Chain A
Amino acid sequence: MKCSEARDLILESLTGTTPPDRRRALLAHLQECSSCRREAAEKEETVATLRAVPEPRLQGDLWAEFMVALDRRIAEEMTGWRWLVRLLRTPRIAWGAAAATSVVVVALAVILFVWPFSQSERAANDDAQADLSGLVTESVVQSIPSMTTVLTSWKAGLSAPDVSYELVSTGGR
């Protein structure tokens, strides 16, 4: 191991964890190199001094006070649209809202596009029926039986093969 590499590793191993194989290599280097040993001792002393300062002693009710203050600030933040956005981001509510929105959209589409067309179509059909009923007058209705008789006799005449053309025409004269 080179001295430059060892100096990097000294600080790393003094302030945290080092992989065992690298630590072994460092220790082997320190046994041989007095300069790096001195460097290691100085850094160890510096780290020890820094860590000699104890953690601040926290007041007993600090966290209760912290949670109350945090809850109050979050409650202040979660008003109006922020609350709505947060609510809509939760998956259960989001799916429900999506389903409700789909229903509303479909209903609006029916009201705006499908219903007016069906109404106008129905109105158009009614108009056509009214036009046809205008053609069927009373005289047309009365003439229907006589038209039936004429049609029956035409049908009978066309289906009579034994009546020759000559006889019919001679008799007619």
Chain B
Amino acid sequence: MDAEDQALVQAFKRGEESAFAALVIKYREQVYRIARRMLHGHEDAFDVAQEVFIRVHRALPRFAGRSALRTWLYRITVNLSLDYASRGSRAVLSGLEDLEWTPAANDDPVETAERNELARTVKTTIDALPPRQRAMVVLRVYQDLPYAEIARIMGCAEGTVKATMFAAFGKLRKALAPVMETR
């Protein structure tokens, strides 16, 4: 486990609540981004990220450190996101509007529209993947995690991750072909 994480976990176990706040600050953005990539809605991603840290706060006193804290956190995030997605979350109900990123004041409107169109296509394509394939693609493509860590997060063999990624990329390639031709 990362030395800084280990120190923070030990401090939390000694009763220092500020150590937990430091852990939240360190990981909140990555946790939120994974959830948002998997769910696409800000509200759902926010709820999942909150729930992740509530569960971590509850279980951290018993955390033995057999896996890295980051791996444990991401596993909770992925499992909760899959659970939210399977329950028909707000993102599914609210359509695709929430997929668009908030533009900055000085952004070119045409560029923003094109970027949003691309984002929409990519997100619907990733959404069409089976849940576990989607999780692995998000962890690999957007979080740059090694296959070994993805395997630990997903609770499967490294070979399974490679095979799943291969299958997922076959589907992504086919679905994104029209977009790639126009780019």
Name A residues whose Cβ lies closer than 8 Å to a Cβ of B: 7-8, 11-12, 15-17, 42-43, 45-47, 49-59, 63, 66-67, 69-70, 73-74, 77, 86-87, 89-93
Which residues of B pack against A, CB within 8 Å?
13-15, 21, 24-25, 28-29, 32-33, 36, 42, 46, 49-50, 53-54, 57-58, 61, 101-104, 115, 118-119, 122-123, 126, 137, 140-142, 144-147, 162, 165-166, 169, 172-173, 176, 179-180, 183
- The answer to whether B147 and A91 have CB atoms under 8 Å apart is no
Q: Which chain A positions have C-beta within 8 A of B145? A: 16
Q: Could you say which residues of chain A place their CB within 8 Å of the CB of B46?
A: 66
Chain B residues whose C-beta falls within 8 Å of the C-beta of A17 in the assembled complex: 146
Interface of A is mostly: helix
- Contact at B50–A69, with CB atoms within 8 Å? yes
Distance in angstroms between the alpha carbons of A66 and B52 in the assembled complex: 12
Cβ contact within 8 Å between B169 and A46: yes
Structural contact, A11 and B54, CB atoms closer than 8 A: no
Beyond A11-B162, A11-B169, A91-B15, 19 extra complex contacts between A and B, CB < 8 Å: A11-B166, A15-B140, A15-B165, A16-B145, A46-B172, A46-B180, A49-B118, A49-B122, A53-B115, A54-B101, A54-B119, A56-B102, A58-B29, A66-B32, A66-B46, A66-B50, A87-B15, A91-B13, A91-B14
A53-B123, A70-B24 as given contacts; A90 in contact with B13, CB under 8 Å: yes
Q: Is the CB of B49 within 8 A of A45?
A: no
Name the residue on A nearest B51 (C-beta).
A73
Closest Cβ neighbor of A42 among chain B residues: B173
> Chain A nearest CB: distance from B124 CB in Å?
11
Cross-chain contact B24 with A67 (CB below 8 angstroms):
yes
